[in-house]
Amino acid sequence: MAQLSDDCFAFGGPMMSVDEAVRIIAARVRPIEDVETVALGAADGRVLAGDIAAPLPLPPFTNAAVDGYAVASGDLPRGEPEAFAVSGRIPAGPSSGEAISPGHAMRIFTGAPMPEGADTVFMQEDVQIADDGKVILPAGLHPGANVRPAGEDVAAGHSALTAGRRLRPQDVAVAAAFGLTHLNVKRRIRVAVFSTGNELVSPGGRRAAGQLFDSNRFMLMAMLARLGCELSDLGILRDDRASLAQALQTAARRHDLILTTGGVSTGEEDHVKAAVESVGRLVLWRMAIKPGRPVAMGVIGGTPFIGLPGNPVASFVTFVHVVRPTVLTLSGAAQQDLIPMPVRAAFTYSKKAGRREYVRVYLRADKNGVPEVVKFPREGAGLLSSLIDTDGLVQLGEDITQVEPGQIVGFLGYANLI
């Protein structure tokens, strides 16, 4: 399990910027070290544990890029088309290492190895076949055309996949092209997830008047699963310090991260803070971010703890900026900066300077097909529908106070955030 010092998330200032939060997490969370071996078919989404240098060049041999006729570039027609006798036929597949005779062409197909001595291929669409069976090749083709040299894609020995990469389908393809069957990856981190609040009932339970079904826990677990975590669903904890403390302490022994939602404000019925303090160490991060309220960060028995706010949108946004970097760092994954894409705003908005705001927006194409973003009409941090009917968040930096229609703003699509 992760072992962190109690005060690792201590923070001096009254308000923390989002960038500072990400920096503190990257500096103070230690990645897990356990490595396991998985088959290629199970490697998507896993974090690569070590660099992989190409054991062979890609492509492994020089081959034809098109169906056509291979020749030596020294024989290329100059000025006028020329007829060549066709001395052989090379389909794709195992080859006995054929060679071309001077002044001849060879029939060749896409992916077939180039015959010894040939270095240029005419596309079959560009040639004519004479009555005597010779092939008439036009002038003007440059030497080396339509050939894929060995190693043009990846040179042998090149460090093609590096440690910390979260494998995507195309990364798995490169490993397969190297002939690898298994990869060394970091073990999945184990995350315990709780909701807190006497007003919450699990879906399927009996909901009394004044209660609502717990939605955050399922949203958070789905987001954690997409980040490759192994999950323990530890249900709903009542607003009671002693039982919270007990549950947190038990969870800390078996997990790499504890995540809760709700109960981290400073009201009398917010008991998470006191519970964490009784079994570990807690700091409240007041982040200069909207939506979002204080996020609790702490350590219980060496295991990091994050307490997210209860309002669903605040929970979602703070997950992206605090939990996501923590999970990636713990998992041994290289941090991926969230780079907002420039798009045109189709809305007016005012904000205070000094804090970062995330505005829920949907994308639409204007009459020329150029994308623009439209703001969800309401702003409450409790509106789940605002996350359903939008495509992502517009990030408004600390310095911005006003957005006008037509202004270029930075857009983060949900697909890139989770």
Residues that bind ligand AMP in the complex, under the rule CB under 6 A = 195, 197, 199-200, 214-217, 261-263, 265, 309-312, 382
Query: What's the closest the beta carbon of residue 190 comes to ligand AMP, in angstroms?
Result: 21
C-beta of 315 vs 331, nearer to Mg ion:
315
Q: How far is the CB of 396 from ligand AMP (least distance, A)?
A: 24
* 297 or 308: CB nearest Mg ion: 308
Q: What residue number has its CB nearest to ligand AMP?
A: 310
Q: Which does 312 bind (CB under 5 to 8 A by kind): Mg ion, ligand AMP, none?
A: ligand AMP
Kindly identify the residues of this chain, within the stretch 236-265, that bind Mg ion according to CB under 5 A. Answer: 262-263
Q: Compute the least distance from the CB of residue 266 to ligand AMP, in Å.
A: 10
- Taking the complex as a whole, how short is the minimal distance between the CB of residue 248 and ligand AMP, in angstroms? 16
Q: Which is nearer to ligand AMP, 181 or 213 (CB)?
A: 213
List the structure tokens of 132.
């005597």
Smallest gap from residue 53 Cβ to ligand AMP (A)? 46
Can residue 309 be called a binding residue for Mg ion (CB under 5 A)?
A: no
Q: Which is nearer to ligand AMP, 228 or 263 (CB)?
A: 263
Spatial separation of the C-alpha atoms in residues 330 and 302, rounded to whole Å = 13
Measured from the CB atom, the residue of 176 and 242 that comes closer to ligand AMP is: 242
Minimum separation from the CB atom of position 297 to ligand AMP (A): 16
Residues 156-215 interacting with Mg ion (rule: CB under 5 A): 197
Give whichever of 79 and 267 is closer to ligand AMP, judged by the CB atom: 267
Distance CA 345, CA 136 (A): 59
Q: Which does 195 bind (CB under 5 to 8 A by kind): ligand AMP, Mg ion, none?
A: ligand AMP
Residues found near Mg ion in the complex (CB under 5 A): 197, 262-263
